Structure 1
């Protein structure tokens, strides 16, 4: 995981799947209820929005082109993004379909 850029106070960090670098951005500075994942350097390529953080009912909405990825990859991407959003450490490993690590909290 790379550290947030000082130019964007809502940027929580980054991660990669070995092919693409992703950035994780909070919806607000105080008590964000959602976060966005986008391709680093391209805010228009929205990968994922995770909402319901305050209510505890997390819901993932996938961007165009990313919905077709395997369920295993999407589970890994969502869990990794949540870990980055939460300030957890993400090991710089490549994850492919069939190789998924789940986070307990």
Structure 2
């Protein structure tokens, strides 16, 4: 199965910045501790991985190309990715900002 197929049970949703389409994928179905944001395609491009969801010690790891983007764009991407991730999650989360 390709990672970005709609039948992927870990795929939480998609969003765009007007230039790129991004997908959000949880690490597991039950109580995921991380999620990935990636650009879908034949060769998946990882934009960001957020870990520490269950512990509250959030950390964002950025893909090589994406870490050079502006701080404002990265905050927007994190915020939007969290909204997509939690849209289908029943557990609320107060702090969404990552140390990374």
For normalisation by structure 2, the TM-score amounts to: 0.79
1:12 aligned counterpart, secondary structure: strand
1:22 aligned counterpart, secondary structure: strand
Distance 2:42 2:82 in 1: 20
**What 5-or-longer segments of structure 2 have no aligned partner?**
89-94
Distance 2:12 2:57 in 1: 21
For these two proteins, the number of residue pairs brought into alignment is 87
Q: How does 1:16-27 map to 2 (within 5 A)?
A: 16-27=16-27
For the structure 1 residues 44 and 20, does the alpha-carbon distance in structure 2 shift closer, same or farther, using more than 3 Å as the test? Answer: same
Q: What stretches of structure 1 move > 6 A for 4+ residues in a row?
A: none
**Over the residues paired in the alignment, what is the CA RMSD in angstroms?**
2.1
2:28 aligned counterpart, secondary structure: coil
**What 5-or-longer segments of structure 1 have no aligned partner?**
89-103
Which is helix-richer, 1 or 2?
2
